[in-house]
Chain A
Amino acid sequence: MTSLVTARNVSKSFGAVRAVDNVSFEIEKGKITGLFGPNGAGKTTLLKALLGLTDCDGDLSVLGLDPFRQRKELMKNICFIADVAVLPRWIKVEQLLDFVEATHPNYSRKRSEELLARTKVRKDARVRELSKGMVTQLHLSIITAVDARLLVLDEPTLGLDIIFRKEFYGNLLNDYFDGERTILITTHQVEEIENLMTDIMFINDGRLLLDASMESLASRFVELVTSGENADKARQLGPIYERDVFGKKVMTFEGIDRDKVAAFGELHTPSVADLFVAKVKGAAA
Chain B
Amino acid sequence: MITNQLALVRRELWEHRSIYITPAVVGLVMILTLLTAFVFASGYQEIVDIGIVGAQNLAGDVERRAALLALLIGNSIPFIFAGAILTIFYCLDSLYAERKNKSILFWRSLPITDAETVISKLLTTVLAIPLIAFVVIVCVHLIILAITSIFVSIQGGSSVFLVWKSAPLFDVWAGMLIITILLPIWFSPFIGWFLFVSAWTKRSPLLMAFLPLALVPTLEYWVLRTHLIWDAIQTRFEQLPFLKGIDPEQFFDDERFIASTDAVSLLAYIDIGHFLASPQMWAGAVVCGLFITAAIYVRRYRDES
Q: Could you tell me which A residues sit within 8 Å of B by CB distance?
A: 44-45, 48, 51, 53-55, 71-76, 79-83, 85-92, 95, 98-100, 102-105, 139
Contacts and interface: CB of A to CB of B under 8 A. Distances in A.
Nearest to B106: A86
B122 to A, nearest CB: 18
B40 interface: no
Given A73-B111, A102-B3, 12 more contacts: A53-B105, A53-B108, A54-B303, A72-B113, A75-B109, A75-B110, A75-B111, A86-B105, A86-B106, A87-B106, A103-B110, A104-B110
A183 B228 CA distance: 57
A72 B111 contact: yes
Contacts of A86: 102-106
A88 B15 contact: yes
A71 B113 contact: yes
Contacts of A100: 110
A18 to B, nearest CB: 15
Contact of A72 (B11, B103, B107, B112): B112
Instruction: Identify whether the interface residues of B are mostly helix, strand, loop, or mixed.
Output: helix
B105 A82 contact: yes
A76 B111 CA distance: 5
12 contacts: A55-B301, A72-B113, A81-B109, A82-B106, A86-B104, A88-B106, A88-B107, A91-B15, A92-B14, A99-B10, A104-B110, A139-B106
Contacts, number: 75
A90 B303 CA distance: 24
Interface string B2-27: 01101110110011000000000000
B61 interface: no
B105 A83 contact: yes
Contacts of A89: 101, 103
A80 B109 contact: yes
A150 to B, nearest CB: 12
B235 interface: no
A88 B103 contact: yes
Contacts of A79: 109
B305 interface: yes
Contacts of B3: 102-103
A73 to B, nearest CB: 7
B98 interface: yes
Nearest to B103: A88
Contacts of B106: 82, 86-88, 139
Contacts of A76: 111
Interface of B: 3-4, 6-8, 10-11, 14-15, 98, 101-113, 301, 303, 305
A102 B303 contact: no
Contacts of B113: 71-72
Nearest to A82: B105
Contact of B7 (A51, A80, A103): A103
B14 A91 contact: yes
Nearest to A78: B109
A285 B112 CA distance: 45
B297 to A, nearest CB: 12
A105 B11 contact: no
User: Which of A74, A81, A89, A102 counts the most B-chain CB atoms under 10 A from its CB?
Assistant: A102
A84 to B, nearest CB: 10
A71 B115 CA distance: 12
A7 B113 CA distance: 23
Given A48-B305, A83-B105, A99-B7, A105 B111 contact: yes
B8 to A, nearest CB: 8
B107 to A, nearest CB: 8
A73 B14 CA distance: 26
Given A53-B303, A88-B106, A103 B15 contact: no
Contacts of B98: 88
B38 to A, nearest CB: 40
A90 B100 CA distance: 13
Nearest to B14: A95
A106 B14 CA distance: 24
Contacts of A71: 108, 113
A148 B303 CA distance: 25
In the A-B complex, the 6 residue pairs with the smallest Cβ-Cβ separation, listed nearest first, are A102-B7, A75-B111, A88-B103, A82-B105, A54-B303, A86-B105
A104 B103 contact: no
A86 B107 CA distance: 9
Contacts of A83: 102, 105
Nearest to A74: B111
Contacts of A88: 15, 98, 101, 103, 106-107
B7 to A, nearest CB: 4
Contacts of A91: 14-15
A80 B107 CA distance: 11
A102 B305 contact: no
A83 B109 CA distance: 11
A71 B296 CA distance: 14
A52 B263 CA distance: 59
A221 B247 CA distance: 92
Contacts of B107: 88
Nearest to B6: A102
Contacts of A54: 303
A100 B111 CA distance: 9
A99 B6 CA distance: 10
